[in-house]
């Protein structure tokens, strides 16, 4: 809760949240409620911190039941940190940790807007495999969009080169 000011800087930015399912936080109060109601109870959500400030997040959404062998991963960082390789470094740390934290997990998958080339490059640098385009697959903020699906399997190694 003490990170609300840092969180609001990027969670209140339409550029950062345009490809996320959740809406842009419009006030500090909305940001506090989001941290309390979504972030804290989340099964696997980490703040991306730089110089002791939250600049983004990475989250994993594990499936359940017969689909418990897979999970979805999502991430975002503040616009002033774009293009610096931070998301790539974060995922290179997060992916192995996710497989440790969820030992029955076989597949980690990411869905990216076809126009979000930067996020596609991040996933590819980490070692995610592009599987294809899902046409008219997801609805983000009322707009139905095509998504590129990427996967990373528990048997694969995170790439060490950029």
pLDDT of 10-39, one tens digit each? 999 999 998 888 889 999 999 999 999 999
Residue 71 domain boundaries:
4-153
Look at residue 2 in the predicted model and tell me its pLDDT: 76
The gap from C-alpha 104 to its chain's centroid, in whole angstroms, comes to 20
What CATH number does residue 42 fall under? 3.40.630.30
Q: What is the mean pLDDT of residues 74-100?
A: 96
Q: What is the mean pLDDT of residues 40-66?
A: 95
pLDDT of 6 higher than 80: yes
Domain assignment present for 158: no
Domain assignment present for 131: yes
pLDDT of 149 higher than 70: yes
Instruction: Kindly report whether the global pTM for this prediction surpasses the value 0.75.
Output: yes
Question: Total domain count for the chain?
Answer: 1
């Amino acid at each position: 809760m003490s990170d609300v000011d840092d969180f609001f800087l990027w969670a209140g930015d339409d550029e950062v949240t345009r490809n996320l399912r959740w809406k842009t936080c419009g006030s500090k109060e909305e940001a506090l409620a989001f941290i309390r109601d979504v972030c804290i109870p989340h099964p696997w959500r980490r703040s991306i911190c730089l110089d002791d400030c939250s600049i983004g997040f990475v989250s994993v959404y594990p499936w359940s039941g017969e689909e418990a062998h897979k999970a979805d991963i999502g991430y975002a960082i503040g616009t002033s940190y774009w293009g610096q390789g931070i998301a790539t470094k974060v995922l290179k740390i997060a992916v192995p940790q996710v497989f440790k934290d969820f030992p029955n997990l076989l597949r980690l998958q990411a869905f990216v807007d076809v126009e979000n080339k930067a996020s596609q490059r991040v996933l590819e640098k980490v070692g995610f495999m592009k599987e294809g385009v899902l046409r008219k697959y997801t609805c983000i903020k009322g707009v139905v969009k095509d998504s590129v699906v990427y996967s990373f399997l528990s048997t694969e190694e995170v790439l060490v080169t950029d």
